[in-house]
Amino acid sequence: MNTQHTSQFVAEMWNDSVLPALQEYIRIPNKSPYFEPEWQTLGHMQQAAEHLQRWVDRCGVRGLSHRIVALPGRTPTLYCEVAGSAPCTALLYGHYDKQPEFTGWAEGLAPWTPVLRDGRLYGRGGADDGYAVFASLVALAALQAQGLPHPRCVLLIEGCEESGSFDLPFYMDTLAADIGTPDLVVCLDAECGNYDQLWLTTSLRGMLPGTLTVRVLTEGVHSGAAGGIVPSSFRLLRQLIERVESATSGRLIDALQVPIPDAVRGQARQVADVLGTMNVGRFPWAGGTNPSAGPGTVAAHELVLANTWRPSLAVVGLDGAPAIADAGNTLRPATAARLVFRLPPTLDAGLAATTVQDIFESEPPHGAEVRFEPEHPQTGWHAPASEAWLTTALEQASEAHFGAPLMTMGTGGTIPFMKMLGDRFADVQFAVTGVLGPHSNAHGPNEFLHIATAKRVTACVAHALLALARRGAGA
């Protein structure tokens, strides 16, 4: 491969074709079905899939066929297939559904308004994960432009990832014969520790979302008349959460912990050495907030492990409480909290859901009505060891296009598809990477795609596909 030619080809195709199409994609408010139950009526999901398909149709990759597959009542999936010149298959994965708007966007920025600024494309879904289909096919086009071999490639772009991919197993079954048995899975939905080198994801945490509801009354009553007699539903909610998470330390119960392999601990130290204070500084801290009881009291590599191999809990939504401006002196009948547990990669999410539900619902405080409703628990993923041909290709790609060594790390997020693929195909190799680096803020305000990194990652994908083709051909 002429790496200079590859970089130039990728950059030109991104500038001329990908960025305009990505900007139009950002304008479509196709929120994932959990966040928009009326997605079918609104039609935004179909609109987004068709928009991506139109670009696919004119991208110029030879041997490409494509179609939108829509099972009844399920979000459409964009399926693409490219004939290969070697007897092997790569499955390239992405998703096009988006998180909701969120608040706090900076002046001049908004979730459904694409803005190009300082080498970044702002807007919801560009980095997470709308760019995946574009990067995958541009990588293939770059190989074809140099007359280089590539494997048969299958692209699966789903519309339900941000809701836990509950539609995806049905499409995997429907498309099983089309997909075949992949030798390599490429996923572009992961994080990168910085924008200076290629990052390969080696593990993903699982996820347990659910709603915890505490009800003490059938209707609200005067807080003066009831105070001291009727317990606050919010106080009881706090008490229940304390059963699984220490309010002081943030540590979760032992039932949600797993042994951390020595190799993972070593990897965490390497990541901490490379990132230094960036691992903490990448977040928009308020005031003097810090990740520990005091500055410097937690080792940097322990923070890496806390984010990748230890469980955590976030309260991401509350119901039952009016806005402060509308709050009366009323003791509310109930409080509900939307909880999201992030689980260690090797912990069974179904078992975790049963454990947490039993802990919350047994012996309810004050005899209150307590209900925990888990929603699509997702077990995490720990990658099998990479074979030498793949590791070498990615190391060379990082040096060629970033000018820096390849780095590996676990990440704190969840991609259900990786666990599904690992269970279905025991011998498959994984190249999981992405562009979600410092301050890119997927799911939050001011989400952006770091354009230079997206171009370099695209070029690195070409290296992986070429290496697979040469391995498949026995070269």
pLDDT in tens, 340-353: 999 999 999 999 99
Query: Does pLDDT of 472 surpass 90?
Result: no
pLDDT at 394: 98
In a 10 Å sphere around its CB, with 0-12 CB exposed, 13-18 middle and 19+ buried, how is residue 214 labelled?
buried
Closest by Cα among 453, 462, 468, 461 to 403: 453
Q: What average pLDDT score do residues 162-184 get?
A: 95
pLDDT digits (tens, 9 = 90+) for 219-248: 999 999 999 999 999 999 999 999 999 999
Q: What average pLDDT score do residues 76-89 get?
A: 96
Whether the CB-CB separation of 151 and 471 falls below 8 Å is answered with: no
Q: How far apart are CA 59 and CA 53, in angstroms?
A: 10
pLDDT at 359: 98
Q: How far apart are CA 438 and CA 449, in angstroms?
A: 11
pLDDT at 421: 87
Closest by Cα among 2, 1, 4, 12 to 455: 12
**What's at 86, amino acid-wise?**
A
Tokens 């499409």 appear where?
171
Longest dimension (CA), the chain: 82
- Of all residues in the chain, the percent with pLDDT exceeding 70 is 98
pLDDT at 94: 96
In a 10 Å sphere around its CB, with 0-12 CB exposed, 13-18 middle and 19+ buried, how is residue 107 labelled?
exposed
Q: What average pLDDT score do residues 81-91 get?
A: 95
Tokens 């479509």 appear where?
28
pLDDT digits (tens, 9 = 90+) for 394-425: 999 999 999 999 999 999 999 988 998 889 98
Q: How far apart are CA 136 and CA 460, in angstroms?
A: 10
pLDDT at 95: 97
The pTM of this model reads 0.89
Query: Does pLDDT of 295 surpass 80?
Result: no
pLDDT digits (tens, 9 = 90+) for 66-79: 999 999 999 999 99
Cβ contacts of residue 221 below 8 Å, gap of 6+? 230, 330, 331
pLDDT digits (tens, 9 = 90+) for 3-51: 999 999 999 999 999 999 999 999 999 999 999 999 999 999 999 999 9
pLDDT at 290: 85
Query: Does pLDDT of 197 surpass 90?
Result: yes
The β-bridge partners of 68 are: 78
Query: Does pLDDT of 296 surpass 70?
Result: no
3-class SS of residue 220: coil
pLDDT at 279: 85
Is residue 475 very low, low, confident or very high in pLDDT (cuts 50, 70, 90)? low
74-78, 291-295, 368-372, range with the lowest pLDDT: 291-295
pLDDT at 417: 86
Q: How far apart are CA 156 and CA 420, in angstroms?
A: 13
Give the start-end residues of each E strand in 191-331: 199-204, 206-215, 221-222, 312-319, 330-331
- The domains located in the chain, with CATH, are 3-204+381-472 (3.40.630.10), 207-270+301-374 (3.30.70.360)
pLDDT at 292: 66
| Average pLDDT of every residue of the chain | 95
Dihedral, CA atoms, 384, 390, 392, 398, nearest 10 degrees? -100
DSSP state of 319: E
pLDDT at 4: 97
Query: Does pLDDT of 140 surpass 70?
Result: yes
Q: How far apart are CA 311 and CA 205, in angstroms?
A: 8
Q: How far apart are CA 246 and CA 469, in angstroms?
A: 51
Q: What average pLDDT score do residues 254-275 get?
A: 95
